[in-house]
Amino acid sequence: MNKLYFGDNLDILREYIADESVDLIYLDPPFNSQAQYNLVFDRQDDDSPSAQAGAFLDTWRWGDEAEWSYQELMKIGGGTARFIAALRSALKESDTMAYLSMMALRLQELHGKLKPTGSLYLHCDPSASHYLKVVLDGVFGSDNFLNEVIWKRTSSHNSAKRYGPSHDTILFYSKSGEFTWNPQYQPYDEEYIDAFFTHVDEKGRRWRRTDLTGPGTRKGDSGLPWRHYNPTERGRHWQPPSYFYEKYIEITGDDLAKYDLIERLEKLDAAGLVHWPKKEDGMPQGKRLLDDAKGAPLQDVWTDIKAIHNLARERLGYPTQKPLALLDRIINASTKPGALILDPFCGCGTTIESAETLGRDWIGIDVAVHAVKVIEARLGDLAERSGKKPTYQTEGMPRDFESAKKLAERDKYQFQWWANYLFNPHALREQKKGADRGIDGELFFPNGPGRPWGKMLTSVKGGEQVGPSMVRDFARVLEREDAKLGLFICLYPPTREMIREAASVGLADVVHGDIPKLQIVAVQEWFKGKHPLLPPLEHLPSAAFSGRRRPAASAKRADPLQPELPLSFKGSKDVKRHYNLRMVKGVA
């Protein structure tokens, strides 16, 4: 059964993932500056990162958890511990050192989960790749380092005072020398084709000459003369590439293995696979068709996979999203169908979609609620396109009040996101920590003939100290934002004063009956079946969130049912929206 886990990947790896059970690990841990999770080589003084990024920034700071990770590595000992100790002496207790300490502990754990035939690909950018290479050498052993792959992710990048950064680094390691490997090829470029495939047969197919011999002499059949051509005299022996045996079987259905070597050469000639030079002393050569060419063996610099275009179908609007083609290549190269793929920082789920499409089993882990919800929506979209519903389980999301309470105590921001998803919002607001303007989620509903749209806002409070003043503040937010409805979400049942404040706001101006404008939702009561009264919600295109005002009545519209929402909020320059892909389509 495929699994999607919400939670800390170290805890999940230790508790739920069996040792030596995984065929391939791909991880893209958040570090690089382009991904909004920007770390520096000194202590962070900015205490106002965004809520979503905060989950990562808090993780990669030197503190109790980093110190604990460091001490755990010292207990394990070995090469990894020595490398980390040396790095700490140089980097001190910086954010980078916190990142390396906690990454080293996770990489140590991941190493134990790989099968002996397994491989690991760590995706990073040049700001951390040199440190991670040292850590990986300690964990896997330098003998098991296979490649530093350079992926040219963009054609250009403007930088005023340095060379434009346009590539990522992918560090490729194996668990042992017996790792799974399937050679990958790139199409030949036109220049190469023109230079080497210079012949055309009677059917108009291009082909090139290929040696039927190999270097060195032999005393067996491969050293015998054939049709007056003696390879031994030239210091060579007969050695037709496997392509010609495969092509002969394709043409004739006959297996060459039952013939001796000289007979095989005769058979290849009879099938039209041998070229006879015009020179009297020229050695016969094989004819390799361009149509059969696999291409050039893939090298460690990848320039043929482009970053996701703004209009690409697969684009989800997720800041660190990688193209499917990149993961398809990695999975095809290092696994066989039915293999188990693990991504412990699975983000928006590119690894998972690739594994699912290629017939591999998978495990995904992420610490962010929104990431899990994006992946669930992505798998749903994949099911619609393919007609095959992925089979998987989501684990770690609160399923009762006690687990919801623990999430609120552990991470109030992830609790806010989880609570919003109870109501299937269209968008979630992300603002700076400490700059909460009282809005966490946005929902929209049709509100009468002509399809005007009503707006509903949510505000989530996960602590125990919740009172009537917070309800009053949220009521003012609803007025300020011209919202028809509001949901005030808290852990415990509201007090009488809170209920009184909510009731004083009155009924909503909606066409869906008498609905209180401000409703209080207690998570404790939610799990007992007490839910708020809500109007019907509908799917929206992302274009509805463009910020354009509704056009004048005289303006022509291509589709009178196409919603356009006037979302020019005061202070919107400080607001970033994350869309619920189950409710908003066409995100770019």
Per-residue pLDDT, averaged over 268-292, amounts to 90
Average the pLDDT over each of 146-155, 239-248, 276-285, 568-577 and give the range with the smallest value: 568-577
Domain co-membership, 448 together with 505? yes
Confidence at residue 378, expressed as pLDDT on a 0 to 100 scale: 92
Closest C-alpha among 466, 462, 418, 459 to residue 441:
459
Report the alpha-carbon distance of residue 504 to residue 157 in Å, rounded: 55
SS3 311: coil
Q: Which of 125-129, 158-162, 186-190, 411-415 has the lowest mean pLDDT?
A: 158-162
Last residue of a domain, which of 275, 292, 309?
292
Neighbours of 502 (CB within 10 A): 22
* 66 token code pair: 């980093």
Name residue 150's beta-bridge partners: 169, 301
pLDDT level of residue 576 (50, 70, 90 thresholds): confident
**464-496 confidence digits (pLDDT tens):** 789 999 999 999 999 999 999 999 999 999 999
- Of the candidates 370, 583, 414, 378, which has an alpha carbon nearest to the alpha carbon of residue 362? 378
Asked if 156 and 227 sit in the same domain, the reply is no
Q: How far apart are CA 31 and CA 329, in angstroms?
A: 23
Mean pLDDT of 437-448: 88
Domain boundary among 355, 372, 395: 395
| Total-model pTM | 0.84
E runs forming strands in 54-144: 114-124
How does residue 237 score in pLDDT terms, banded at 50, 70 and 90?
very high
**Domain check: are 288 and 408 in the same one?**
no
Task: Report pLDDT for 407.
Answer: 95
Tell me the CA distances in angstroms from 120 to 22, 33, 139, 215, one per residue in order.
Answer: 10, 23, 11, 36
Q: Average pLDDT of the chain?
A: 86
Whether pLDDT at 159 is above 90:
no
Average pLDDT over every residue of 215-220:
92
Residues 9 and 129 in one domain: yes
Query: Do both 460 and 510 map to the same domain?
Result: yes
Backbone angle region of 164, left / alpha / beta, with phi > 0 → left and psi within -120 to 50 → alpha: beta
- The one-letter code for the residue type at 516 is P
Give me the mean pLDDT over the 551-576 stretch. Answer: 46
533 and 479 within one domain: yes
Q: Based on the fold, state whether residues 438 and 572 are members of the same structural domain.
A: yes
State how far the Cα of 548 lies from the Cα of 539, in Å rounded to an integer. 18
Residue 563: is its pLDDT beyond 60? Answer: no
Under the banding of pLDDT at 50, 70 and 90, the label for residue 187 is confident
Shared domain for 539 and 444, answered yes or no, is yes
* Cα–Cα distance, 11 to 396 (Å, whole number): 11
> Among all chains, which residue has been given the structure tokens 């293995």?
257
Last residue of a domain, one of 258, 292, 326: 292
Whether residue 131 is predicted with pLDDT greater than 50 in this model: the reply is: yes
Contact 201/207 with Cβ under 8 angstroms? Answer: yes
- Domain encompassing residue 260: 190-292
170 with 307, same domain: the answer is: yes
Q: What is the CATH number of the domain that holds 148?
A: 3.40.50.150
What value does the mean pLDDT take over residues 214-223?
92
Q: Is 249 exposed, middle or buried (CB count within 10 Å of its CB: 0-12, 13-18, 19+)?
A: middle
Q: How do beta strands 274-275 and 576-579 pair?
A: unpaired
pLDDT category of residue 437 using cuts at 50, 70 and 90: low
Rg of the chain's alpha carbons, rounded to an integer? 31
CATH of residue 468? 3.40.1350
Q: What is the pLDDT of residue 93?
A: 92
pLDDT at 312: 65
DSSP 463: S
- Reported as a single tens digit per residue, the pLDDT across 29-59 is 876 443 333 333 333 444 444 444 444 454 5
Q: Which two tokens stand for residue 186?
A: 């790139």
Cα(289)–Cα(205) distance, integer angstroms: 7
Q: Is a pLDDT exceeding 80 seen at residue 102?
A: yes
DSSP calls for 176-204: SSS------EEPPPHHHHHHH--EE-TTS
pLDDT of res. 47: 43
Give me the pLDDT at residue 61, please: 78
Domain co-membership, 449 together with 531: yes
Tell me the per-residue pLDDT of 390-428, one tens digit each, with 9 for 90 and over: 999 999 999 999 999 999 999 888 999 999 999 999 998
Mean pLDDT of 284-301: 91
Strand ordering across the sheet containing 361-366? 301-302, 145-152, 167-174, 114-124, 22-27, 340-343, 361-366, 2-6, 392-395
pLDDT at 67 over 50: yes
Q: Tally the domains of the chain.
A: 3
Claim to verify: residue 94 and residue 240 sit in the same structural domain: no
Q: Which residues contact 542 (CB under 8 A, 6 or more apart)?
A: 317, 579, 584, 585, 586, 587, 588
Are 350 and 413 found together in one domain?
no
